[in-house]
Amino acid sequence: MLNFIYYPVSAILWFWHKAFGYVLGPENGIAWALAVVFLVFTLRTLLIKPFVSQVRSMRKMQEFAPEIQKLKKKYGNDRQKMAAEMQKLQTQHGVNPVAGCLPIFVQIPVFIGLFHVLKSFNRTFLSEAQNRVTSNYFFGVDEVQSFLDARLFGAPLSSHISQASAQLERFGDVSRWDIALVAVPLMLLAGVLTHLTSRHSVARQTEAQTANPQAAIMNKVMLYLFPIGVVVGGPFFPLAILIYWLSNNAWTLGQQYVIYHQIDAEEQEKKQAAITQRESSAPRPGQKPTRPKRGVTPPAGVAGEMDRNGSSDGGGTSPGERNGTSDGAGNGAVPGMVQPRTRSKKSKKRR
């Protein structure tokens, strides 16, 4: 039914086992463990770009969080209107919430596929002899036998602590304690890395997010319940799955550290560039703002514009013309010649 997941997962695992088995030997338990680890690294490498988009989307969501609160107050009782306004707001800010969930959605089927492929090496409904002659997706009969014989520090990779006694007998003289000595450290380390990864994510939340009661509950679930779930569920999973959990959590923690710091550096550079641009355009301390000098004739075109607006400071109209008199500049007189004074009508009557 889910062969479209099982075959690609088994193909990647097969490739890395061939690579490490060529160096360490096909039946070497470390070669199989490294194949599982690099299966995780391969899939997580393909998800780096969606993870970066997820981080940037979360950052943008934090930037317009006050606008979201306003929408909640305005359309708190109208869910349909609230959803429409939220979608509009996310479109305006270029935020795609579905893209942010993509890494999680992809990892779930990968985990299911890997779990099924590893369990299919040692099917419980088949006898030991039948399992050793039954292929497993991309793995042939010889490779199935290689996995069943592989040991990691004395414990079979396909075994788990809670395995039935009848199934443990298939591994010969391997006891439950032999499996626990390898499984328990893997479980504890995977739980610690899960806690550190969650703490790193929670530490980057804003005060408004941490003050939200629902967010506070979810943070506690991430910080404590998830790590405890890894430890409690560890005895029910094969050692290969515990290796998957451990390597996946280690990758997540390292990826968060690198990408978060990279995005922080980019945002700091943008803020510094904005501050530098603001400081360069602002006047220097003690410097007076510059104003245009009076009496200076503006360039052609500017003067005409000023004439049309009815104002001038030495342009096409002289002060004398504004007062109803002429100083000769506007009557066609030649500059430099003395012009006769014009007498008013009152002075003519006196004479």
CB 267 within 8 A of CB 63: no
pLDDT at 151: 92
CB 218 within 8 A of CB 158: no
pLDDT at 314: 43
Tell me, rounded to whole angstroms, the distance of Cα 204 from its chain centroid. Answer: 12
Tell me, rounded to whole angstroms, the distance of Cα 83 from its chain centroid. Answer: 23
Helix (H, G, I), strand (E, B) or coil at 148: helix
Where is average pLDDT lowest: 63-77, 228-242, 329-343? 329-343
End-to-end CA distance of the chain: 124
Task: Read off the DSSP letter of residue 123.
Answer: -
Residue 211 exposed, middle or buried by CB count within 10 Å (0-12, 13-18, 19+): exposed
pLDDT at 266: 80
**Owner of token pair 């193909």:** 11
Residue 298 has pLDDT above 90, yes or no: no
d(C-alpha 75, C-alpha 82), whole Å: 5
Task: Retrieve residue 95's tokens.
Answer: 């935020």
Residue 282 has pLDDT above 90, yes or no: no
Helix (H, G, I), strand (E, B) or coil at 139: strand
Q: How confident is the model at residue 320 (pLDDT cuts 50, 70, 90)?
A: very low
Return phi, psi of residue 122, to 5°. -130, 75
Q: Of 114, 153, 130, which Cα lies nearest the Cα of 237? A: 114
Enumerate residues 6+ apart whose C-beta is below 8 A from 259: 48, 51, 52, 55
The alpha carbons of the chain give a radius of gyration, in whole angstroms, of 39
d(C-alpha 91, C-alpha 254), whole Å: 31
Task: Retrieve residue 329's tokens.
Answer: 């500049």
d(C-alpha 114, C-alpha 106), whole Å: 13
d(C-alpha 160, C-alpha 155), whole Å: 9
Residue type, 27: E
Q: Of 313, 281, 282, 271, which Cα lies nearest the Cα of 295? A: 313
Q: pLDDT by residue (tens digit) across 174-202?
A: 889 999 999 999 999 999 999 998 888 88
CB 266 within 8 A of CB 222: no
Where is average pLDDT lowest: 46-55, 138-147, 244-253, 276-285? 276-285
What angle (nearest 5°) sits at the alpha carbon of residue 34, between those of residues 36 and 238?
45
Q: How confident is the model at residue 211 (pLDDT cuts 50, 70, 90)?
A: low
d(C-alpha 186, C-alpha 287), whole Å: 68
pTM, rounded to two decimals: 0.70
Helix (H, G, I), strand (E, B) or coil at 211: helix
